[in-house]
Structure 1
Amino acid sequence: MVTIRPYEDRDWAAIARIHDAARLDELRESVGVEAFRTLDDTYEGEGLFDGAVWVGESDTGDVVGFAALAEAELTWLYVDPGWYRRGVGRQLLRHALAADVSPCVECTVLEGNAGALALYVDEGFVLRETKSGRLAGSEEFAATGHVLEWRRPAVA
């Protein structure tokens, strides 16, 4: 069981470790690991704390994932590789969507990140467009991203 709670300063070491491990997996299947930059090197420029940040905490008190949402955009969602495919990403995603009041939320998934794409599509996101450009945080690398959009269900 994982509990979702707001990020606290004491969580920094855990989310940095999670990001750095999971980001390598993400890049391995997309742009290439040469584009890797640590969370320490990228969080400010990529606006990690521009909005709300949540962590997923196991019943043993370990942080096992984190998500961030700012201005109707899911900007970060990373899960500890030891917790992949155990529902942590889905829980974090659902929490972020429930916490936001926007009628529409978007996110971008790197081409090649099949696991993330499958999760978002399964949760109701639809492909809005595919764009090529520079990789945020590692601008010297070209990247292709799928921009996905989730719309809040209409209340009857």
Structure 2
Amino acid sequence: MTTSPAIRAAVVADLPALQRVFRAASLSNAGEAPMLLARPEFLVFAGDGIADGRTLVAVAGAPQDRIVGFATVTTGPELEDLFVDPDWHRRGVARQLVGRVAETARAQGHRRLWVTGNPHALAFYLAVGFVQVDQVATELGVPGLRMSLDLTGGHP
């Protein structure tokens, strides 16, 4: 039986594991992998948000020692990063991370959580309660889906 990962704030020592998850998750979408490999600067996770407590990690294993996903939030609040190790896809990790981010934003008095997601993540975001409000250009040249989650009602 697999237990749910624990969610905690990231620490600087987590950076190599976050970089591993970021790269693996980014390349797991076969449709975007060639484009990303051609632009390796987009496969680098710098860790902005760790030192100031804006990055959460999902940690699994005994004793909770393997980072299997992470989320970074900016002011607004904006869900800037949401990445899950491909070996942990479809196990509720992303839903758990979004839930924690939404809970924190709600407790801080925010009424909405924003994200710009890629098209292959649309079904997930809709499933956790986001609503698409716009389509925007991204640095990679692929469409970004601008979405919003209402934090005034229930929870994602």
**Counterpart position of 2:83:** 78
Shift of 1:30: 4.1
Alpha-carbon contact 1:56-1:65 (below 8 Å) kept? yes
Name the CA distance, whole Å, in 2 between partners of 1:89 and 1:18: 13
Identify the structure with the greater strand proportion: 1
Using the size of structure 2 for normalisation, the TM-score is 0.80
1:55 matched to which residue of 2? Answer: 57
Aligned alpha-carbon RMSD (Å): 2.1
- 1:131 touches 1:147 (CA, 8 Å); kept in 2? yes
Contact 1:30 1:110 in 2 (8 A): no
Of residues 99, 114, 120, the one that matches 2:104 is 99
- Mind listing any 5+ residue stretches in structure 1 that lack a counterpart? 136-141
Cα offset, 1:51, TM superposition: 6.1
1:35 match: 39
Q: Which has the higher contact order (CA 8 A, sep 6+)?
A: 1
Indicate the larger mover: 3-12 or 30-39: 30-39
Q: Is the 8 A contact 1:3 1:56 kept in 2?
A: yes
Q: Does structure 2 retain, via aligned residues, the 8 Å contact 1:55–1:64?
A: yes
In structure 2, runs of 5+ residues without a counterpart are none
Aligned residues: 141
